Structure 1
Amino acid sequence: MKKISAKISLIILIILFFYACDSVKRVPEGKNLLAKSEIIVDGKKIKNEDVTELISQKPNTRFLNLPLSLYLYNWAKPNHDSLFTEKFIKDTIRFKRNSKFFSSKQVYRLGESFWYSGIHNFLKNTGEAPVILDELKTQKSATKLKVYYFNEGYFNVNTTTTTDTIGTKKAATTYVVTLGKPYVIDSINKKISSPVIDSLYRRTEQLSIIKSGVQYKSDHFEEERNRLTNSFRNNGVYNFQQNYINFDIDTINTGNKANVNLLISDYSFRDGDSLVKTPFKVYKISEVNIYTDNPSSKNKVKIADSIVYNNYNLYSVDKLKYRPKAITNAIFISKGDTYADFKNNLTSRSLNNFKVFTYPSIQYELDPNDSLANSLIANIYLSSRKKYSFGASFDALHSNIQDFGLAGNASFSIRNIFNGAETLEIAARGNIGSSQDLANPDNTFFNISEYGADLRLNFPRVFFPLKTDRIIRKEMIPSTQISLGFAKQENIGLDKENFTGALTYNWTPKRYNAVRFDLFNIQYIKNINVSNYFNVYRSSYQALNDIAQNYEVDSSFLNDDGNLTIPFGTDGFLNEILLNDPGINPTPSDFNTIRSINERKNRLTENNLIIASSYSFSKTTKTSLLDNNFYVFRIKGESAGNLLSLIADASDQPTGPNGNTTFFDIEFSQYLKGEFEYIKHFDLRNNMVFATRTFFGIAIPYGNSNSIPFSRSYFGGGSNDNRAWRPYGLGPGRSGARNDFNEANMKILLNAELRFKMFGKLRGALFVDAGNIWNVLDNVEDEDFIFKGVDSLKDIAVGSGFGIRYDFGFVVARFDFGFKTYNPAYEVGKRWFREYNFSNSVFNVGINYPF
């Protein structure tokens, strides 16, 4: 009976599925669903997105060859509001019965609930309405195709359309395009009226995009028009516009050749009822006025304060709030210079870098004192932001550390604090949480906490005692940041105190290049609760406790269950083994394991003092958010401990417990670190992008260190790394992630991801991640952890999987499923696809794309 019921239920579900998946379910009678659309150009089917996007009507989006977006839309009830009203409101008996359990108001609100309304709105918004064939749009599409190929140089192009019925209420449209022979540019003649324009044109004529012997393309003429306009306006021709450039194309009886006549007319303007034409001329800047309070005109507002500084006139309606030098250093428009558009852009970018003004306004007017009318007055209007601003936020949290937490942030900003457009930012943050995993003798709900404060002082220039103008020019939009920070954790891990400080310089050598130089970056990490180590790093405790069960251990080290107590028992057992207690004679294997556990414990519990300098450079070819064909290149070099080493040697500082030199009784870190990253995106068109990333990083300890601080190490796994492993769950090498938090000082990472549109706002991805971390040139001795050259590349872990993303417009929610494809933790021959199943997969949640 149960089997029969199950079969009946399955049949009903199948019938309901096919009913909902009827693609013509919402197609009106007498209309057809556009199920297929093809473009045939000279006998070949075209899938080029530049061409297919010209079609006004395209079939519903298909995924796995199914119109899933259409199915989603069809599942929604088109008139759910009226159905609810008919069922619950107009049915007076049902309405009265429901009103006994709910109020009348609640019954009405039931129609706005997710089940009766929200789910149908979601299906409609996520899905796609059926595309109904429209002959008028078909003809418009054919015209667009003809115009497109005409602009590509096929002046004899012909387009036709056919529409065929391919099923019940379904139709297919085919566009047939016959191109003919393309036209090629032959002669190029110029007729330029103004001598100034003619002279400027000849300077860059060799850069012209219009060249003889090249196929005619309309886009090339628009690009050439833009090139010439930019060239003229950047060389002093202030009043030049694109409409003064015209191209006369002669194709009559030329044998598929196009003769081009470039026509650039004189400047024209209206004087009363007459249209006057005059040759263009080059303009000079005769005066630069800077209004720091943004009046619409200096004649309409009473100026209370003014000053002349380096040929700049500064005006203010109140007492001038800014030091003149601070403002004028950001201005690239100078008295006596030739007018240039690019100087306006540089000035705007530089003033925006101040962060104390809204977007500046730059306006020009003819100098009335110049009888030749060759001079311009530049008026720069600045609008100050509020001097003081306050911000605050409050969040509820859940993480693997705390079951429930409350976090708050508050920030206070003071702009123009020293009258040089500097900005001071003070921020405080706090977090209290509840964790059942921690000891809680007082049985308090909020048993963990973290708080901190940060101070940042920003200068819109290079803040340095020596002049740096020749090295870092003001055109590079430099800035300086001085930062200080403090944070403290209680009942979290080892309860760290973290002090930070940095002096950082940023500048842009070119438009899409960026440089960051940390003259010094100080970090002091102090572990308050070292005795909690084996409570935090449970895998180390388990390994140590398992070994202790094999030997006669001092009973005071054990609890009632015979396990090592923390910290007395664990520390006592370590000391007995490592100090060669004659009562215990461990095997060489156990001794090496215990020594490794102790080394890791010492490294993770030691206080770290890091004073580093670093230089990083990045370059990108991405010009907009919609650009899907670009690359990003980053390199970084970091050096730590050299300055402290010189000071310690000169002042004869004592050594610490590990035998290393100290500074203020703290053993400082010394290392060299380098990183390389290259990201490349390929636009495959049709809403498909292939993205790749390559990363290599290495940190080498030397001098006063034989290992890298935990905060400067590398880890593998996670939503932005190798997604088949959890964070800190990969490596090092072929070790199989023996520790709770696995890290090392060398990392290789390769990612490849194919991104595509599924339907609506849903996006999909297929990815392969490869990489691992290793120890190299440090104090780790375990062979499984160490990188030994090319032979160790066989320990690169490979993960693969798929992802689903939902595009909210301002942010992308990302869900990735990673599967361990090649796991180097297993013996050779058993590494491929051993855990390739959902039970061993890793589910990652992220915001935006991983690279």
Structure 2
Amino acid sequence: MKKTLCYISFFLIIASFTSSCNVMKRVGKNEHLLTENTVIVDDKKDKTETVSNLIYQKPNGELLGIPLRLHIFNLARPNIDSILNDKYRNPENPRTGQKKLLSLKQYEALIKSKKGFNTWIKKTGEAPVIFNETKAEKTAAGLKKYFYSKGWFNVKTSYDVEKDSTQRANVTYNVVRGNPYYLDSIATNIASPVVDSLYQSKFKKESLIKTGQQFDELNYTKERNRLTTELRNSGLFHFAQDYVRFDIDTILPGDIVNTDLIIENRAIRLEDSISRVPFKIYKIKDVNIYSDYKYENRNKAISDSVQYKDYNLYSYNKLKYRPKALTDAIFITKGQIFRDLDRTRTYRYLSELKAFNYPNIEYIENEQDTTLTANIYLSPKKKYDLGFDFDVTQSNIQTVGFSISTGLIIRNVFRGAETLEISGLGAIGASRDASDSKDQFFDINEYGGNLRLSIPRFFVPFNTDKIIPKYMSPSTRISIGATSQRNIGLDKQTLTGSFNYNWFPSKMVTNNIDLFNVQFVKNLNIDNYFGVYQNSFDRLNQIAQNINYINNDSDLSIPQGADDFIDDVLSNNTSLNPDDDSYQDVSNISQRKDRLTEDNLIFSSSFNYVKDRRENLFDNDFSILRFRVETAGNLFTSLSKTLNLSRNSNGKYEIFGVPFSQFIKTEIDYVKHWDLGKKNVFAIRSYFGIAIPYGNSDNIPFAESFFAGGPNDIRAWSAYNLGPGSSLSTNEFNEANMKITLSAEQRFNLVGRFNGAIFVDAGNIWNVLDNVEDEQATFNGLNALENIAIGSGFGLRYDFSFFILRLDVGFKTYDPSRPIGTRWFKDYNFGNAVYNIGINYPF
């Protein structure tokens, strides 16, 4: 990390003077620096990314018109080895006297570090691009090939080079396309009757090449791939892409093309010749599953075998899996035709079980009856895996903390490929008050455990295959956990439990249902509330001093003095009136304290939908849609009414002495990225969330509320520091039950692995349809949208390949907490900026 920070500092320093450097420093006497490429297509400039990518030689990259990487490269010494040898290995040079101060190993390390820094400059920089005639010719040929592939068969290309006296060169590529060619007719010549029948009856209608469309070579490639996939999923075991080809006839009057689709018979290679035979449809004769295959077992005899439905299961030792657990993961079925898709799905499902190493599927051909025997070899992972993790931490609560966690994974617990995970956590720490000799040094502790059972199917008493087929990889997860914290905030005990279903309707879509999710939180030390929420106490203390409730040189005691003051104010036993702002502040502090110190019981169900169009980790043109809806408390309400349970003094039903929460919560999150080429990406995010209490609740539990600000949100405000609405809150944690966020970000490359960004974030949180009465914090209609906060700024990112280290600087552009008329650009400076450090992109 220190090394990376040094490199960042070096980059910032050299950026200040590179504009005055000589870019021609490393250009030879008879060489020309390439400064510009221009592509003219039919007398018009073409700046599209597709055409730009066809150019073999491009000028040095620029930042704000400055070839920054070229300047960096010019700082490197080209003959560094001879310089270092002369400077540090020359006996006549006084600098070699450093050898007397350093060991030989240290001295060589010093020389190596200087060479390494010079190498880093070279790698970070970019060598001058010297015009190359051969690459210009290749570019012209590449342009011709590209436009030819798109149907301009008479295309002509050339290039002109303009060289000046300053050893700079500009290249202009000229493209004259002529008229495009269109498909006039498509004929077929399919040798195998079974292939011809399949094509005419099932595949012809979906063809990607059609009469009347402009010729495009890419469509032919896609059609070849489509036919190969369809035929291999129709029983043609021996079929391959090479059997499909197209003959294109362009020697016709007019600008038209005739196409012949040719699919040949199967080729069988003999010793000295090749014979052609028609393709045949293969069916699966037998499916054999070897449940504990290892290479060293290949010559051993099978000791256990079971026939289950249409599957044969074999084991070299005793079979440790229930047959159904394995056959549910196999999509290859006896009596069905061969399909590549079944093999792919089987590989995926077996991998998702996490019970086996990568499986092997082998087909053995039975030529006499055109059938296949499928052998599936499974190599089980170890039944038990044990892991440990040790951490040392520090925070604003504790000066030092030590934690150890352990996890045990047990596979195939009930012989159905289930996985049981048992984890535990134990931690101790010293708070900032532990330095007092009266306190025990390690006065903070936390411990807990969790059990999670993963079942590779839906755990239900009925068959769901018709609703959710097994190719959607249905699974069930059951978990239960408990934690206890002491001297951390209010101290708490937490019990959690969940029953979850998960499945994948398609490659892009993930569905998730929490049949139930239970959270029980019990606060153990509510007397420490004002010790944790110090800002609330400071405001309360200030009000007490202002009205002479206490002396100016004294403070309210915690908790008794603070609680008594709140009771006296709200009982009208002080000089404050309900119309006073200070009275309202005390009321708000009281409501917040009651809410954050109450015990919570949440019994909820939820549905999650995610549609992710991202092809892979490097895809920069995609969208992601996330939708979630959650309801809580409905079952408990029905039971309470049915059992005619009594209510507490606030009219709320209680279970185990705790009022349960009842609400409905919805979240919609949409992210879209556009790849603009040349490592430029434009990204947007829109988010809306709302949680509405009803029935047994007047507000939303803190854990289910929304907050704003932070490195992945409105970056001009720190986390929990924005809102609600236009209120100027001093609370440590500002939260509410409705949230809107809109963000836009332009990302671009700076130098090498350094990337930059400029961004605008907008949004806020509000209270709506709950018991909060502060007008500044509530959403009372569309007029409340004028309180949407706006932040803007810039960011610097360093790409480590496997993750992105991100620094974002956010400025308060529009601050709704300020009076109207003074909200725009009032704190728009580095002194009031918020500096966010994050990992990976915010959206």
TM-score interval for Structure 1 and Structure 2 normalised by the shorter chain: over 0.9
Query: Is the Cα–Cα contact under 8 Å of residues 266 and 279 in structure 2 kept in the other structure?
Result: yes
The CA deviation at 1:844 is 1.1
Matched, 1:484 2:480: yes
Query: Is the Cα–Cα contact under 8 Å of residues 796 and 824 in structure 1 kept in the other structure?
Result: yes
Residue of 607, 611, 627 corresponding to 1:615? 607
What is the letter of the counterpart of residue 194 of structure 1? S
What is the letter of the counterpart of residue 742 of structure 2? L
The CA deviation at 1:546 is 1.4
The CA deviation at 1:566 is 1.6
Query: Is the Cα–Cα contact under 8 Å of residues 789 and 814 in structure 2 kept in the other structure?
Result: yes
SS of 2:380's equivalent in the other structure is: coil
Greater Cα offset, 425-434 or 262-271: 425-434
What is the letter of the counterpart of residue 41 of structure 1? V
Q: For 1:48 and 1:298, locate their aligned partners in 2 and report how far apart those are by CA, in whole Å.
A: 59
Query: Is the Cα–Cα contact under 8 Å of residues 395 and 406 in structure 1 kept in the other structure?
Result: yes
The CA deviation at 1:639 is 0.8
Equivalent position of 2:584 in the other structure: 592
Equivalent position of 1:54 in the other structure: 54
SS of 2:802's equivalent in the other structure is: coil
TM-score of the pair, normalised by structure 1: 0.93
CA gap of 1:585–1:673, structure 2 versus 1, over 3 A, is closer
**RCO comparison, higher one (Cα < 8 Å, 6+):** 1
Q: CA RMSD in A?
A: 2.5
Q: For 1:563 and 1:206, locate their aligned partners in 2 and report how far apart those are by CA, in whole Å.
A: 84
The CA deviation at 1:668 is 1.4
Greater Cα offset, 526-535 or 575-584: 575-584
Equivalent position of 1:310 in the other structure: 309
SS of 1:111's equivalent in the other structure is: helix
Query: Is the Cα–Cα contact under 8 Å of residues 18 and 68 in structure 2 kept in the other structure?
Result: no
Q: For 1:126 and 1:443, locate their aligned partners in 2 and report how far apart those are by CA, in whole Å.
A: 54
| Unaligned ranges ≥5, structure 1 | 1-12
Equivalent position of 1:3 in the other structure: none
Alignment of 1:401-550 (within 5 A): 401-402=397-398, 405-433=401-429, 436=432, 440-442=436-438, 448-550=444-546
SS of 2:775's equivalent in the other structure is: coil
Query: Is the Cα–Cα contact under 8 Å of residues 20 and 75 in structure 1 kept in the other structure?
Result: no
The CA deviation at 1:213 is 1.1
What is the letter of the counterpart of residue 37 of structure 1? N
Equivalent position of 1:274 in the other structure: 273
Q: For 1:137 and 1:798, locate their aligned partners in 2 and report how far apart those are by CA, in whole Å.
A: 49
Residue of 613, 630, 635 corresponding to 1:638? 630
SS of 1:467's equivalent in the other structure is: coil
Equivalent position of 1:800 in the other structure: 792
What is the letter of the counterpart of residue 331 of structure 2? F
Q: For 2:521 and 2:45, locate their aligned partners in 1 and report how far apart those are by CA, in whole Å.
A: 64
Equivalent position of 2:154 in the other structure: 156
Query: Is the Cα–Cα contact under 8 Å of residues 282 and 371 in structure 2 kept in the other structure?
Result: yes
What is the letter of the counterpart of residue 835 of structure 1? D
The CA deviation at 1:737 is 3.3
Query: Is the Cα–Cα contact under 8 Å of residues 656 and 665 in structure 1 kept in the other structure?
Result: no
Alignment of 1:735-774 (within 5 A): 735-774=727-766
Equivalent position of 1:780 in the other structure: 772
The CA deviation at 1:597 is 0.8
The CA deviation at 1:82 is 4.5
Q: For 1:691 and 1:19, locate their aligned partners in 2 and report how far apart those are by CA, in whole Å.
A: 31
CA gap of 1:198–1:18, structure 2 versus 1, over 3 A, is closer
Alignment of 1:661-676 (within 5 A): 661-676=653-668
The CA deviation at 1:334 is 0.7
CA gap of 1:273–1:479, structure 2 versus 1, over 3 A, is same
What is the letter of the counterpart of residue 509 of structure 2? N
The CA deviation at 1:233 is 1.1
Equivalent position of 2:8 in the other structure: none
Equivalent position of 2:372 in the other structure: 376
Q: For 1:841 and 1:607, locate their aligned partners in 2 and report how far apart those are by CA, in whole Å.
A: 37
| Unaligned ranges ≥5, structure 2 | 1-12
CA gap of 1:20–1:449, structure 2 versus 1, over 3 A, is farther
The CA deviation at 1:521 is 0.7
CA gap of 1:398–1:48, structure 2 versus 1, over 3 A, is farther
What is the letter of the counterpart of residue 525 of structure 2? N
The CA deviation at 1:381 is 1.6
The CA deviation at 1:581 is 3.4
CA gap of 1:238–1:529, structure 2 versus 1, over 3 A, is same
CA gap of 1:503–1:18, structure 2 versus 1, over 3 A, is closer
Percent identity between the two aligned chains:
48
CA gap of 1:544–1:659, structure 2 versus 1, over 3 A, is farther
Q: For 2:232 and 2:297, locate their aligned partners in 1 and report how far apart those are by CA, in whole Å.
A: 27
What is the letter of the counterpart of residue 732 of structure 1? P
What is the letter of the counterpart of residue 180 of structure 1? G
Matched, 1:823 2:815: yes
Deviations 1:202-257 (A, max 9, x none): 12212111111111111110001011111111111111111111111111133221
Q: For 1:442 and 1:757, locate their aligned partners in 2 and report how far apart those are by CA, in whole Å.
A: 57
Q: For 2:351 and 2:773, locate their aligned partners in 1 and report how far apart those are by CA, in whole Å.
A: 53
TM-score of the pair, normalised by structure 2: 0.93
Greater Cα offset, 101-110 or 68-77: 101-110
Deviations 1:281-332 (A, max 9, x none): 2111111111122357997442121111011011111111111000001111
What is the letter of the counterpart of residue 41 of structure 2? V
Q: For 2:359 and 2:14, locate their aligned partners in 1 and report how far apart those are by CA, in whole Å.
A: 64
The CA deviation at 1:794 is 0.9
Query: Is the Cα–Cα contact under 8 Å of residues 14 and 72 in structure 2 kept in the other structure?
Result: no
Aligned length: 830
Greater Cα offset, 587-596 or 289-298: 289-298
Q: For 1:745 and 1:763, locate their aligned partners in 2 and report how far apart those are by CA, in whole Å.
A: 36
Greater Cα offset, 386-395 or 87-96: 87-96
SS of 2:180's equivalent in the other structure is: coil
Matched, 1:835 2:827: yes
CA gap of 1:502–1:265, structure 2 versus 1, over 3 A, is same
Deviations 1:7-26 (A, max 9, x none): xxxxxx99993597322223
Equivalent position of 2:176 in the other structure: 178
Equivalent position of 1:324 in the other structure: 323
Equivalent position of 2:139 in the other structure: 141
Query: Is the Cα–Cα contact under 8 Å of residues 20 and 71 in structure 1 kept in the other structure?
Result: no
SS of 2:172's equivalent in the other structure is: strand
Query: Is the Cα–Cα contact under 8 Å of residues 364 and 374 in structure 2 kept in the other structure?
Result: yes
CA gap of 1:290–1:65, structure 2 versus 1, over 3 A, is same
Equivalent position of 1:4 in the other structure: none
What is the letter of the counterpart of residue 257 of structure 1? I
What is the letter of the counterpart of residue 452 of structure 1? G
Greater Cα offset, 92-101 or 674-683: 92-101
Matched, 1:685 2:657: no
Query: Is the Cα–Cα contact under 8 Å of residues 762 and 790 in structure 2 kept in the other structure?
Result: yes
Equivalent position of 2:4 in the other structure: none
CA gap of 1:583–1:41, structure 2 versus 1, over 3 A, is closer
Matched, 1:574 2:566: yes
Greater Cα offset, 600-609 or 571-580: 571-580
